[in-house]
Amino acid sequence: MKQRFLADNALGQFLDWLTHYGVLHGPTRTAEGVDAFGPVQTESDLCLDYRRTLIPPKKYLLPPRQTILNYTTAAGYTLPDRPAPQQVLFGVHSCDLQGIAYLDRVFLGDRPDQLYRRYRNALTLVGLSCEPDPFCFCASSEKAPRNADLFLQRLEHGFIVSAETTRGKGMLAGLEPLLTEIEAIPPPPVESRMMIRLRNAAERGSTFPDSPLWENFAARCLSCGACSVCCPTCYCFDVLEHGALDGMTAERLREWDNCLFRAHGEVAGGHNFRPTRRERFLYRYLHKYLGFGALAGVPACVGCGRCRVVCPVAIDLTELFAEGDDVCA
Amino acid sequence: MSAPELNSIPISARIQTIRRLTADTALFRLQLDGDRTFPFIPGQFVQLSVPGGGEVPISPADLPAVDGTIELCVRRFGHVTSLLHRSRTGDRVGIRGPFGNGFPVDAMAGKDVLLLAGGLGIAPLRSLLFHLLRHRSDIRSLTLMYGAREPAVMLFKDELLELATTGSLRLLLTVDFLSDTGQAEPACNVGLLPALLKGVQLEPGRSCAAVCGPPALYRCTIDELLLAGVAEDDIYLSLERRMKCGVGLCCHCAVGQLLCCCEGPVFSYRDIKNIPGAL
Ligand SMILES: Cc1cc2nc3c(=O)[nH]c(=O)nc-3n(C[C@H](O)[C@H](O)[C@H](O)COP(=O)(O)OP(=O)(O)OC[C@H]3O[C@@H](n4cnc5c(N)ncnc54)[C@H](O)[C@@H]3O)c2cc1C
Ligand code: SF4
Ligand code: SF4
Ligand code: FES
């Protein structure tokens, strides 16, 4: 099969060219040795063989803290008029692309969120194939999800480049001078056993009601919330408002919240609908694996493995899927 | 302004009147800017913004008005509601909505309708009551059972007693206990709300009940309602959850897999009886 090919020695030029579409960000390794998406100036800033970043790309679409409304006595509440930054995110793995696709379904569904749309439209995505490690279990580690503008499939001396969106097709045309043609067969997608188990559990609608693992998890969990902070499809937010001292203006913010925190289910008067860790675990489980509201029945977990890596007490909700499943007994 | 914008950006309103009902509860009538009307179904809620304070979910306490006003009965609870209670007439607030499903008024046609309000739960049920009284001939009978902690915090008492004199509403009031100085009031029982349901017999399939109140109220009235013959499908419960966005995005309000702000806040007992922690 004929494919468009970007040779390793043209990568630098390719990165330069990407800056036409916005400020370039990609996987980097920080001074502390943490893999993180961040600004990239030159090819040497990139950490191309990264496994997973600590914080997923959701930070580009839902900043951890974001002004959602401004208030003035004269104009009332208005959307902030600052445009979203034009950015190119290079090197996004399939699982994170799928995470973005999930966020798109949530925030661009029936009641589209205008700020999310603004940030999403200003973000160009360049996907990159990956090497799975023991923590990941995504549906497919090789297939390019449809939402990457460009997708780069790593070969020995370069990358197969494909365009998945209208924007990407336009980009690919402009990229021609840097590309050559090769004969190559993309590797077949591999589906992880864990993802099959997860899907089976979701199809059964199982909440594993009798599993002793719930008590075990609840007893160990520190409620630190790391598992949701680092999850590419955890998006729940809190809303805060700050008035200026003059009483004439105010700012409304949304910031990342966490369903593992005690206050998440509290209502006025102090009644809490999820006072125990077990209930909060079940809440996260329901949302992650079975879905809420319009997305009920759509598992949100994309198998990036981050929650399994970061938990300080080695809690792994996927252990539940090994139970009661005949596919992988 | 298009519909999605109305959902995310509060429209401006001014506080037209404030009527203090009790020490901590007041009735606010808001005039929406541009005299726009604000249609809603009883039981739906709005997100009320108090500038500089934030936003809270409140169910309108009256029917949609043709004059571009909306009436909210608000208890002083915490940060935002205290700020509202410190506001004066003419002050600006914001409104988003309406959100949620509201009570299924069409399904009540031809039935004996029972409204059960505990404490502040009377606010959305007052809106429903007004709706049913306006379309009184559509339903068979109408009963309101309303319980308050003590006589001093019973809301809308004179108004309700007056409505009951027309004969189109059967009214049963109760207080948990009498205040020290309080006299036994005429037309008012002493005891918990579920006690009013003892011995009531209704026709299954031809009766329904709408319940709104604090979480404890649901747990102790459902058995009585089922005993009285109301079918699980016909018991409508308006649930409270922490609502931050009202549009299904913030994920604070799920009841099982149902989002209270979109698929609720009114659920039939049958829909939620198997959901742990729903009530
Ligand atoms: C569908 C619905 C209808 C309601 N109708 C009425 C009504 O008609 N009259 C009335 O007085 N009260 C009503 N409430 C309760 C009212 O929303 C709370 O009393 C109010 O949110 C308390 O906010 P606060 O800032 O004063 O309290 P605080 O305890 O200081 O709250 C702090 C923060 O928590 C949030 N918060 C606290 N409780 C809730 C809650 N239940 N839901 C969402 N956010 C919460 C607030 O937004 C606020 O930002 C209703 C609640 C719901 C869910
Ligand atoms: S639940 Fe864990 S493995 Fe699944 S997407 Fe979230 S962080 Fe990744
Ligand atoms: S990372 Fe582990 S300890 Fe922290 S909240 Fe999640 S499960 Fe609990
Ligand atoms: S209130 Fe935000 S999801 Fe329901």
* Any domain includes B81: yes
Q: What mean pLDDT is reported for chain B?
A: 90
Closest by CA position to B144, among listed B159, A144, B152? B159
Same domain, B135 and B221: yes
Same domain, B84 and B164: no
Q: How many Å lie between the alpha carbon of A242 and the closest alpha carbon of chain B?
A: 5
| Identity of the residue in A79, A239, A271 whose CB atom sits nearest the CB atom of B9 | A79
Domain end call among B46, B64, B99:
B99
* Any domain includes B112: yes
Q: pLDDT-based confidence at B104, cuts 50/70/90?
A: very high
Least confident of A106-110, A195-199, B68-72, B230-234: A195-199
Same domain, B137 and B268: yes
The DSSP secondary-structure symbol of A83 reads: P
* Any domain includes B187: yes
The answer to whether B114 and B221 are in contact (CB under 8 A) is: no
Q: CB contact, 8 Å: B249 with chain A? A: yes
Count of residues making up chain A: 329
Which chain B residues touch A240 with a CB distance below 8 Å? Answer: 54
Q: How many Å lie between the alpha carbon of B25 and the closest alpha carbon of chain A?
A: 14
pLDDT over 70 percentage in chain B: 95
Which chain B residues touch A113 with a CB distance below 8 Å? Answer: 8, 249
* Any domain includes B46: yes
Same domain, B109 and B89: no
Q: What are phi and psi of B215, to 5 degrees?
A: -50, -40
Same domain, B165 and B45: no
Domain count, chain B: 2
Q: Please identify, by atom number, the ligand 3 atom nearest to the C-alpha of residue A217.
A: 7
| Identity of the residue in B53, B78, B244 whose CB atom sits nearest the CB atom of A268 | B78
Question: Which residues have a Cβ under 8 Å from the Cβ of A282 and sit 6 or more positions away?
Answer: A207, A214, B276
Same domain, B197 and B236: yes
List, for residues B160-177, the tens digit of each pLDDT value: 999 998 888 999 888 887
| Identity of the residue in B12, B53, B252 whose CB atom sits nearest the CB atom of A241 | B53
Q: Which of B257, B259, B274 to mutate to test the interface with A (most CBs of A within 10 A)?
A: B257
* pLDDT (average), residues A264-276: 83
At B6 the pLDDT is: 57
Same domain, B113 and B37: no
pLDDT over 90 percentage in chain A: 59
List, for residues A29-79, the tens digit of each pLDDT value: 999 999 999 999 999 999 999 999 999 999 999 999 999 999 999 999 999
Domain end call among B99, B134, B162:
B99
Q: CB contact, 8 Å: B277 with chain A? A: yes
Same domain, B189 and B83: no
At B1 the pLDDT is: 43
Residues 275-304 of A with CB under 8 A from B: 279, 282-283, 286-287, 290-294, 296
Write a three-state SS string for chain B: CCHHHHHHCCEEEEEEEEEECCCCEEEEEEEEHHHCCCCCCCCCEEEEEECCCEEEEECECCCCCCCCEEEEEEECCCHHHHHHHHCCCCCEEEEEEEECCCCCHHHHCCCEEEEEEEHHHHHHHHHHHHHHHHCHHHCCEEEEEEEECCHHHCCCHHHHHHHHHCCCCEEEEEECCCCCCCCCCCCEEECCHHHHHCCCCCCCCCEEEEEECCHHHHHHHHHHHHHCCCCHHHEEEECCCCCCCCCCCCCCCEECCEECCCCCCEEEHHHHCCCCCCC
Residues 144-203 of A with CB under 8 A from B: none
Q: pLDDT-based confidence at A143, cuts 50/70/90?
A: low
Q: Which of B64-68, B238-242, B266-270 has the highest mean pLDDT?
A: B266-270
Domain with B122 in it: what CATH number?
Answer: 3.40.50.80
Put simply, the answer to whether A279 touches B254 (Cβ < 8 Å) is no
CA distance A265 to A274: 5
Quote the pTM value: 0.92
Same domain, B65 and B177: no
Residues with CB under 6 A from ligand 3: A 221-227, 260, 310-313, 315
Domain end call among B75, B99, B123:
B99
The DSSP secondary-structure symbol of A19 reads: G
Q: pLDDT-based confidence at B182, cuts 50/70/90?
A: low
CA distance A69 to A85: 18
Same domain, B216 and B243: yes
Domain that holds residue B19: 3-99
Same domain, B46 and B8: yes
At A133 the pLDDT is: 83
Question: Which residues have a Cβ under 8 Å from the Cβ of B28 and sit 6 or more positions away?
Answer: B15, B17, B18, B71, B72, B73, B74, B84
* Any domain includes B34: yes
Q: How many Å lie between the alpha carbon of A219 and the closest alpha carbon of chain B?
A: 20
* pLDDT (average), residues B175-184: 68
Residues 207-226 of B with CB under 8 A from A: 214-215
List, for residues A76-95, the tens digit of each pLDDT value: 999 999 999 999 999 999 99
List, for residues B117-133, the tens digit of each pLDDT value: 999 999 999 999 999 99
* pLDDT (average), residues A145-151: 88
Ligand 1 center from residue B74 Cα (angstroms): 9
What value of ipTM does the predicted structure carry? 0.88
Same domain, B112 and B48: no
* pLDDT (average), residues B69-95: 95
At A324 the pLDDT is: 62
List, for residues B135-150, the tens digit of each pLDDT value: 999 999 999 999 998 8
Q: CB contact, 8 Å: B279 with chain A? A: no
For the cut 60, the answer to whether the pLDDT of residue B202 exceeds it is: yes
For the cut 70, the answer to whether the pLDDT of residue A245 exceeds it is: yes
Q: Please identify, by atom number, the ligand 4 atom nearest to the C-alpha of residue B249.
A: 3
Domain with B38 in it: what CATH number?
Answer: 2.40.30.10
Beta bridge partners of B188: B173
* Any domain includes B277: no
* Any domain includes B128: yes
At A141 the pLDDT is: 56
Q: Please identify, by atom number, the ligand 4 atom nearest to the C-alpha of residue B242.
A: 1
List, for residues B244-276, the tens digit of each pLDDT value: 999 999 988 989 899 999 998 999 999 999 888
Tokens of A216: 């075990």
List, for residues B5-26, the tens digit of each pLDDT value: 557 899 999 999 999 999 999 9
